[in-house]
Structure 1
């Protein structure tokens, strides 16, 4: 039994690299999530609008339409999105992370990352905002 409470959450992973998609899909499948995949920005936008997943894992270097453009298309007003988004990418700068958060992303993860770090970040997407802000594990279940 996984120690993550997946609740059969549906997650869309958008990444142009088939090997990355397959690795992340396997990790999430084993952890109990339902996973759909997109290999381009336009596909990610379409799947977000039609499939309405519970979370989006978004590579900022997507082909055709990059991750920033995907965030703008899904969240034209900016600010926090209703659907939690974890952005990922190689050589993420502080500016990239700030820009992604400004466009609605909730968290960022630099590639390469470990499977344990990835699953922890995904689980964090589904925690209540007050719990997500708590950094100490013993405070994770505290009520605000």
Structure 2
């Protein structure tokens, strides 16, 4: 991947340690990484940078991850942004709700250390 064709990843995560760990890992892997600390900021950044993938936490201040997905669906119904939900919650209802709102993947934070890069690569391959 050359610097001119790097894929943009937006990480929407309020936990500073998790956010910076993901930013570092993805940056080293060659991605152009942007971050948002709140759901509201995530919506603003999506419009500004047009990411290729959104890594979205569920529990965030101002607007949670479900609210972000609902807003995207309502305000930009034609948006083809692949969304990977990253959550500490292992709850089947949360997974079903996330998928119903457009998430293409749901990763537990405990799995993120080993699975994240491969999952992002698969999402990008599926969406062209």
TM-score, with normalisation over the residues of structure 1? 0.79
Asked which structure has the greater CA Rg, the reply is 1
Q: Using a 3 Å threshold, how does the CA distance of structure 1 residues 72 and 91 change in structure 2: closer, same or farther?
A: same
Contact 1:42 1:65 in 2 (8 A): yes
* 2:91 aligned with 1:93: yes
Q: Corresponding residue for 2:110? A: 112
Give 1:78 deviation, angstroms: 9.7
Q: How many residues align?
A: 124
d(CA) in 2 for partners of 1:121, 1:35: 16
Q: Which residue of 1 aligns with 2:13?
A: 15
Q: 1:110 to 1:90 in 2, by over 3 A?
A: same
Query: Where has structure 1 moved over 6 Å in runs of 4 or more?
Result: 77-80
Q: Which has the higher helix share?
A: 2
Does residue 76 (structure 1) correspond to residue 74 (structure 2)? The answer is yes
Seen in structure 2, the aligned counterparts of structure 1 residues 111 and 79 have a Cα distance that, compared at 3 Å, is farther
RMSD over aligned CA atoms reads 2.1
Which residue of structure 2 lines up, in the alignment, with residue 62 of structure 1?
A: 60
Q: What stretches of structure 2 of length at least 5 have no aligned partner?
A: none
Tell me the equivalent position of 1:138. none
Q: 1:78 to 1:90 in 2, by over 3 A?
A: farther
Gaps of 5+ in 1: 2-6, 130-144
Aligned residues of 1:80 and 1:104 also touching (Cα < 8 A): no
